[in-house]
Structure 1
């Protein structure tokens, strides 16, 4: 749809809204009715095809209450996420904006949109500021949709394809500073590792560099697994309740936080059939709990600034972060134990993450043709079938 046709459609929507407003029926509109009557038609006018799921996806709500309503994609890459509210909603409630911003940030996407049709707000979810006012790129009232059409058009499919909103934001200085989730999570994981190496190294001086490096890596792997399981509602919250319980105990009968965590690992080992929680010597190390307490806080983000939600974080983000994070090796310097980036370690240990799009390509072009020709599950159990299909 070209700009002139888009303007005409939006003009009709504005007239429709004013009619609803004058009749006093705004409070009768539910969020779903608002989306169908106003928000979806508005973005259709901006060129988006809601019938094509690869272009506009309805985000799921079952797993996490923090999800948003729609994701807008160009060539399978998310351009922005949108949180829709009913006509009667107060769009100035901070929780609405924080929900959209948090989701977009954790998905690695810059732009978060909040709308009830009466107004539309666009936020830079990757802004390093903790203040919503600094994250807000622009806000347009419905009565200004036509007068500020060029700005509204930045959310069109045509503009998103050319990244015009990014270019315009950089021109006016609204996107000069940003911290993507990949960069922030990588920094935080590096800080966690340094903290644990420092604390555990001081309390366990007899441990070798290799033992310390392996133990810290094992511990962090488990903590990240737990955070993902918590956010995906696979497990009840574990880390913060464990930390709060430890804090509430008196000095006389207070066990080490590290010991409490090791006990929890034994419980999880009974649940998950993997090597992740199998007994490891590091569970018997000494620690005062200070380093572990700080690490648990870091893995939750900073409230009001950025908050991690591992349930919505794409595998590509975690994979990319881990690939770089695991490339560090422990070394001894005059200042003590330090972490140094090592390209050789990544090469020696095969620390390379395969992006999702490559995995999809391999599955689609190597596995799918074979599976399409299978008549039954028994075909997959015959080795000659794969050899004849040039799989091996």
Structure 2
């Protein structure tokens, strides 16, 4: 099936899909008809009809695919992956929107499914998210931190499959989610229109929920828990000075966040944080007992034994530690570390490192480091600037070189911070090697050799 290029073609293809669904509606709404089937029979074809390269015909390079399709992965009773992530060239690192698929037999407009789709969108830093079973197509606002209780209020648009054959209704959907429209920033223009409309209605009233990107929200909440944890550590261990308190508080949070990262990436098979306290009755004791195993597996500084933190006699206030665990617990959490772009995680960590804990008597508070305060804050290089600099430095340096020649090269960023440039270089080299082994770079090298002969 060729990728449609025009509205008329898309309308005809999706109308045909809707007709087919209607003719066999009872079978498709049966509980026996599964999500994997509706994706194959309808949703993949739906997105293809909107112009998306769903089968990677135009973008065979696995690192430059505009549609990333995940197999449904369930751990316990939770889905761990958005079903579709959509990208546009040249930036294949930042998704434009996410879509979550469900089987048609369920009532789609429910709190948890809407929350799940919004959660994928918010963590991926996309303005909108889609929830669909083909029978229904729901557009959700993913600019806000999602909660189960408020998820239904995030519904912005709803389409029923019977409307897909209505040209006027379909036109609205097409000019919002077709590949051509998304490439022309249709989603951003749509939410900008929402701001203007809301401003007219509530010019004098403050909105109940403010738009806050996932990185800013997570860092703000992380700072609150860091200060509370530092105070709890200080109350239980009054001899700790500011440097020690900064180190052990940061190490504790580093461990917990990294564990949650491993869970969301499916590296760790079970929900470690959720079951802390269920074995011994003490969450802190279970946490301490888990560290040696993790240190053996990951062998890094995060889980390396710490003289103060891992002492048998060290323990924080249980209530404070429980609050941190509840915040990071997977159950109904707004955060999904599998979806948060790596450059946003880098920005969070770099700003996190820019603060320290100041102590006086039994009190502790978080403040910016003096050098950060003097500089006016921590500055993190945006991903698109990293990509531009890497392409015009490392890109020109390795251009036309063979993998063996590149293997002899070394790349360093002495003041790397959270490593954004090193990650950018690694990503560029991966793509370069994929292109080389698929023939692109060798063709370039042959052409250069011929021109110099």
TM-score range, shorter chain: 0.7 to 0.9
| Alignment partner, residue 43 of structure 2 | 39
Tell me, in whole angstroms, the C-alpha distance in 2 between the residues paired with 1:381 and 1:218.
Answer: 36
| Alignment partner, residue 157 of structure 1 | 179
Q: CA RMSD in A?
A: 3.6
Contact in 1 for aligned 2:28/2:105 (Cα 8 Å):
no
Range with greater deviation from structure 2 (75-84 or 338-347): 338-347
1:294 paired to 2:323: yes
Tell me, in whole angstroms, the C-alpha distance in 1 between the residues paired with 2:38 and 2:219.
Answer: 40
CA 1:273–1:73 in 2, change beyond 3 Å: closer, same or farther? same
What does the per-residue CA deviation read over 1:13-47, in whole Å, with 9 as the maximum and x for residues that have no partner? 3333333338x665475544433443233333333
Contact in 1 for aligned 2:70/2:82 (Cα 8 Å):
yes
Tell me, in whole angstroms, the C-alpha distance in 2 between the residues paired with 1:16 and 1:382.
Answer: 57
1:133 paired to 2:152: yes
Contact in 2 for aligned 1:323/1:353 (Cα 8 Å):
yes
CA 1:197–1:17 in 2, change beyond 3 Å: closer, same or farther? same
Structure 2: where are the runs of 5+ without partners?
Answer: 60-64, 200-206, 411-453
**Which of these residues, 266, 274, 281, is aligned with residue 240 of structure 1?**
274
| Alignment partner, residue 346 of structure 2 | 319
| Alignment partner, residue 263 of structure 1 | 289
Contact in 1 for aligned 2:273/2:329 (Cα 8 Å):
no
Question: What are the residue-to-residue correspondences of 1:353-368 with 2, within 5 Å?
Answer: 358=386, 362=390, 365=395, 368=398
Structure 1: where are the runs of 5+ without partners?
Answer: 248-255, 384-392
Counterpart secondary structure, 2:267: coil
1:19 paired to 2:48: no
Contact in 1 for aligned 2:110/2:152 (Cα 8 Å):
no
Counterpart secondary structure, 1:243: coil
Tell me, in whole angstroms, the C-alpha distance in 2 between the residues paired with 1:374 and 1:74.
Answer: 32
| Alignment partner, residue 413 of structure 2 | none
Tell me, in whole angstroms, the C-alpha distance in 1 between the residues paired with 2:307 and 2:350.
Answer: 25
**Which of these residues, 47, 50, 69, is aligned with residue 58 of structure 1?**
69
CA 1:49–1:339 in 2, change beyond 3 Å: closer, same or farther? same
Tell me, in whole angstroms, the C-alpha distance in 2 between the residues paired with 1:36 and 1:279.
Answer: 49
Contact in 2 for aligned 1:186/1:325 (Cα 8 Å):
yes
Tell me, in whole angstroms, the C-alpha distance in 2 between the residues paired with 1:239 and 1:87.
Answer: 33
CA 1:70–1:271 in 2, change beyond 3 Å: closer, same or farther? closer
Contact in 2 for aligned 1:31/1:86 (Cα 8 Å):
yes
| Alignment partner, residue 121 of structure 2 | 104
| Alignment partner, residue 197 of structure 1 | 230
Tell me, in whole angstroms, the C-alpha distance in 2 between the residues paired with 1:223 and 1:8.
Answer: 51
1:67 paired to 2:67: no
| Alignment partner, residue 49 of structure 1 | 53
Tell me, in whole angstroms, the C-alpha distance in 2 between the residues paired with 1:260 and 1:84.
Answer: 37
| Alignment partner, residue 387 of structure 1 | none
**TM-score (normalised: structure 2):** 0.70
* Per-residue deviation, 1:79: 1.4
CA 1:99–1:215 in 2, change beyond 3 Å: closer, same or farther? same
What does the per-residue CA deviation read over 1:80-110, in whole Å, with 9 as the maximum and x for residues that have no partner? 1112234444323544333322222322223
Contact in 1 for aligned 2:97/2:126 (Cα 8 Å):
yes
| Alignment partner, residue 278 of structure 1 | 304
CA 1:380–1:177 in 2, change beyond 3 Å: closer, same or farther? closer
What does the per-residue CA deviation read over 1:99-122, in whole Å, with 9 as the maximum and x for residues that have no partner? 322222322223221112221001
* Per-residue deviation, 1:240: 2.6
Tell me, in whole angstroms, the C-alpha distance in 2 between the residues paired with 1:4 and 1:343.
Answer: 61
CA 1:353–1:4 in 2, change beyond 3 Å: closer, same or farther? same
Tell me, in whole angstroms, the C-alpha distance in 2 between the residues paired with 1:82 and 1:30.
Answer: 17
Tell me, in whole angstroms, the C-alpha distance in 1 between the residues paired with 2:103 and 2:46.
Answer: 14
| Alignment partner, residue 389 of structure 1 | none
CA 1:270–1:48 in 2, change beyond 3 Å: closer, same or farther? closer
Question: What are the residue-to-residue correspondences of 1:86-101 with 2, within 5 Å?
Answer: 86-101=103-118
Q: Number of paired residues?
A: 368
